[in-house]
Amino acid sequence: MSYSVDANLLLYASDRSSPHRAAAARFLESRAEDPDLAEDEGFLDIYRAVTERAPVRGNLVPDAHLGGLLRQHGVGTLYTADSDFRRFDFLKLRNPLGPS
């Protein structure tokens, strides 16, 4: 099964004042060997489908882009601490910083 990592985990890992810094850094280090995601032909149609239910503006634009990439590549699980991804019902969310 494939997965992706949300950018907020990168922010936590680089923020020396974050109480999540150590956990986020450990998690990211364990993912260093994983493959990249990229847009393939037909991505715009998938992006439209991902964003058709609710308006996407501001900070939700990159979330929708990532959601579209994940859907295009058949990724079903996203590791994130960002609850905004709940809007994408095709994703199973895992928060590596919270309780299991």
pLDDT string in tens for the chain (100-residue length)? 567 778 888 788 888 899 999 999 898 888 776 655 767 889 889 989 999 987 888 888 889 989 999 999 999 999 999 999 999 999 999 999 986 5
Note the pLDDT of residue 100: 52
pLDDT at site 45: 94
How far apart CA 12 and CA 45 sit, in angstroms, is 32
Residue among 19, 87, 20, 83 at smallest CA distance from 54? 87
User: What pLDDT score does 29 carry?
Assistant: 84
**pLDDT score recorded for residue 56:** 84
